[in-house]
């Protein structure tokens, strides 16, 4: 089955710097890669996603890149702000109707 690995497990950056979180997946047939943000005590919420027919996607300060050959995808947050502090989960899904498998998470701290 699908397995998703995520690095680093913790990340601290100064406010205004960039943050990068990297994930790898095992099943080359996976075709959908969402990223979720979970603040302490709250539900995970989708912040951006990418499908396998696209190499990069941006939404304001957030971008995701996908390398299908290497089975890698990454989250990039620019101009980080204290409110970006949270746990970020990458995930992968095989098909439209298949299960979503999550990575172990990255705890991001943005230091003012």
Residues in touch with another protein (CB under 8 A)? 6, 32, 34, 36, 42-46, 49, 89, 93, 96-97, 99-105, 107
Burial of residue 70 (number of CB atoms within 10 Å: 0-12, 13-18, 19+) = exposed
- Decide whether 10 or 81 has the Cβ nearer to another protein: 10
Contact 11, 109 (CB under 8 A): yes
Taking the complex as a whole, how short is the minimal distance between the CB of residue 12 and another protein, in angstroms?
Answer: 16
How many angstroms separate the CA atoms of 98 and 92, rounded? 10
Taking the complex as a whole, how short is the minimal distance between the CB of residue 36 and another protein, in angstroms?
Answer: 8
- Decide whether 36 or 73 has the Cβ nearer to another protein: 36
Taking the complex as a whole, how short is the minimal distance between the CB of residue 16 and another protein, in angstroms?
Answer: 27
Reduced to 3 states (helix: H, G, I; strand: E, B; else coil), residue 82 is helix
- Decide whether 42 or 60 has the Cβ nearer to another protein: 42
Reduced to 3 states (helix: H, G, I; strand: E, B; else coil), residue 65 is strand
How many angstroms separate the CA atoms of 92 and 31, rounded? 7
Taking the complex as a whole, how short is the minimal distance between the CB of residue 104 and another protein, in angstroms?
Answer: 5
């Amino acid at each position: 089955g699908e397995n998703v690995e995520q690095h680093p497990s913790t990340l601290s950056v100064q406010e205004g710097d960039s943050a990068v979180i990297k994930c790898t997946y095992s099943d080359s047939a996976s075709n959908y890669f969402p990223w979720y943000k979970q603040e302490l005590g709250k539900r995970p919420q989708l912040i951006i996603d990418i499908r396998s027919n696209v190499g990069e996607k941006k939404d304001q300060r957030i971008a995701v890149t996908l390398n299908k050959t290497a089975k890698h995808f990454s989250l990039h947050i620019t101009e980080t702000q204290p409110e970006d502090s949270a746990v970020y989960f990458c995930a992968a899904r095989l098909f439209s109707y298949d299960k979503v498998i999550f990575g172990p998470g990255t705890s991001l701290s943005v230091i003012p």
